[in-house]
Amino acid sequence: MWSDNETTRDLLGFRVHADLIYEMVTDPRLLPITVGVFADWGGGKSSVLRMLEERLNAEAGADGRYCLYVNGWLFEGYDDSKAALMGSILTQLVAHPTLGKRIKDKLLPLLKSVDYMRFIRLGLKGATAATFLSTIGIEPASALAVLGALAPTLGQEDVATEGGSDGGAQEHPADVVAIRDFRQRFSEALLKSNVQSLVVLVDDLDRCSPSRIIENLEAIKLFLNVDHTAFVIGADPRLVRHAIRLHYRGLSGGNGAKIEDEEQIVNDYLEKLIHVPFGLPRLSVPEVQTYMSMLFCEYQLGDDAFGRCKHALAEHVSADRYSPITKEQLLASVESGSTAPEDFEETLAFCATASPLVGEGLKGNPRLVKRFLNTYVIREKLANVAHLDIDPAVLVKLMVFEYGHPDAYRELYDFVRQSDGLPPQIREWEDYASGNSETAKSTAAEPDWRKDDTFLRRWTRMEPALSGHDLRDYFWLSRDRLDGTLGELRLLPVFLKRLVSGLTAVDPASRETAADELVSQGDEDRERVLAEVGKLLVAAPDKIEPCSGLIECVLRKVAGAETALALALGRVDQEKLAMGAGYRFVNVRSKGCGQELTSVLDDLSKSETPVGKVMAGAAKKRKRE
């Protein structure tokens, strides 16, 4: 499995973005500068920032360059995240292993001022603050003296009494700064410490609540336009814009501004804050294939072999960045120094097959691709622990549907539930996608997600076909993603699954052995096995093995077998029954069976279906003999 955290290991080809931002933030002609690294959640922002941090830290101190990394989300629970972020930047500079000794004395006064500001922004003003101080053991007269001593630093308006008779203070203005000359003093501290370039990376801003986003942006504004500084802010622009919109809407009382005016305010705010917006692109389908392949290389190979794969990827991208790295290229790089794992080639082939739908369904989002593969590995391991006999290709195909169209997946789950694991809608979808039926889409034409059926067609044509597969085990594996209960999707115990496999085997001896074993099973287990085989017959009528298994049970007088066969023949599409089954039906009829099954077989022999004609011909031949 793969870590869901940001990484400096570039499997996306995103280092080119980090290198470009590096050129901007280290160019003295462009400083001061603020770069916004914009992308959706999981789009690679944090990894780009980490790559940039790694490169800057590798040359820390060279030419007076230094880098700080700040996670804005860490201050979400603070009483004053604005002051907390300011304090974090100053504290990191004071504690810096090489810069700290030179800059410490110059920044400590600023750091103390930030601490004072946090105290005042607790809502303490004038008499209210004095009252608070008195509750912690400071006499009222002394408390006022303390506030008076802080006044030169905080600004007189911060400690001004606003009546105080109403028992509460008004909200402290969001743009109050603890020290009026903060920028100048901070700039002087950098200059006197010979800092030519200070790059501050601010990550996870978009994870904060809207009010905290604004506080963090206001804190960043205090440092903006300070000589020799660069801020790189990673965020989802949609969430930042939403926070700004709510902030200004709140200031205006929630009314007044037109939508277009409101959007203009948001645009103006961002344009003043972000000098260079830098959007990260979504992954294309070839990039998704390359990413999936490289993730599996990392998962299945040792460090040396994986290193050769990364080298092969770098060479491939430099020669052709528009196509995915191929299975042959990766195999050649691995086998040049070691032997590839047994299923490695099959895994790479899966990446090539699944990547178009994975890329489309997950909108080219790197984190979702990684989570998709993590979920796949977890479900595969869960299936092994639960002794489920699953086809990995079927699992992947259903997961692509689950991630690409969650609503459709839930609807398919309902079909599976209603049909005991073998929904006829799957066969209809496959007929429609292959062009075999003009009317097959009718069952699948109502929900909104089917209005554009491009995805459905492509997904349905993806190998393997699902008709004939009992899908209950697969939905059991994904029960955590479904709203309803999966209690009705009971799993067959392993020994009963073995009997089902035996009764549907190609080898007649295996069917006979399984039928003999079934005779001695308890009523409930026997009924479940017969029902499972009957469902397989209904789902795949053109396959003769399920039909032959039920006939074998009838011939060996397995209790309930005649009923199971009669029910299956009543539900199946008789036009598609294997013609060879007709001779076996005649054999069963000739040896005598109950009224229920006799009636069904007689009706079938009189039908104009292919198997009915075979039965009629075989019956006439028996009479002549």
- In this structure, are residues 553 and 588 in contact, taking their beta carbons and an 8 Å threshold? no
Three-class secondary structure of residue 196 per DSSP: coil
Q: Which amino acid is at 464?
A: P
Reading the block at residue 312, the tokens are 């092969």
pLDDT at residue 494, rounded to an integer: 67
Please say if the pLDDT value at position 138 is more than 70. Answer: no
Type and span of the H or E element at 539: helix 523-539
Helices (H), 253-391: 259-273, 285-300, 303-319, 327-335, 344-361, 366-385
Q: Among residues of the chain, what percentage have pLDDT more than 90?
A: 17
Query: Which amino acid type is present at position 261?
Result: D
Joined together, the tokens standing for residue 373 give: 């593969």
Three state DSSP letters for 443-496: HHCCCHHHCCCHHHHHHHHCCCCCCCCCCHHHHHHCHHHCCCCCCCCCCCCHHH
pLDDT of residue 532: 87
Q: Are 460 and 433 in contact (CB under 8 A)?
A: yes
pLDDT at 415: 86
Domain 15-78+182-279 listed as CATH 3.40.50.300: yes
Residue 607, by phi and psi: left (phi above 0), alpha (psi -120 to 50) or beta? beta
Instruction: Give the span between the Cα atoms of 406 and 43, in whole angstroms.
Output: 21
Residue 344: pLDDT above 60? yes
Confidence bin at 164 (pLDDT 50/70/90): very low
What pLDDT score was predicted for residue 244? Answer: 86
Give residue 342's pLDDT: 80
Tell me which residue has tokens 């009838």: 554
What is this structure's pTM?
0.63
What mean pLDDT do residues 416-440 have? Answer: 74
Segment 27-75, tens digit of pLDDT: 989 988 899 999 988 888 999 999 999 999 888 777 788 888 988 777 6
Which residues face 229 on adjacent strands?
198
pLDDT at 152: 41
pLDDT at residue 147 is higher than 50: no
Report pLDDT digits (tens) over 204-243.
887 777 888 888 887 787 777 788 889 999 988 888 888 8
Q: CA distances (Å), 521 to each of 254, 271, 499, 516, 593, in order?
A: 71, 75, 10, 10, 22
CA distance 205 to 243: 11
User: Rounded distance, CA 417 to CA 425, Å?
Assistant: 12
621 vs 199, higher pLDDT: 199
Average pLDDT over residues 88-115: 81
Whether the pLDDT of residue 503 is over 90: the answer is: yes
Which H or E run contains 586?
helix 581-590
Task: State the Cα angle at 56 between 54 and 61, rounded to 5°.
Answer: 130
Write out pLDDT tens, residues 530-588: 988 998 898 888 889 999 999 999 999 999 999 999 989 988 889 999 999 999 999 88
Query: Are the CB atoms for 242 and 294 separated by under 8 Å?
Result: no
Structure tokens at 162: 């606003």
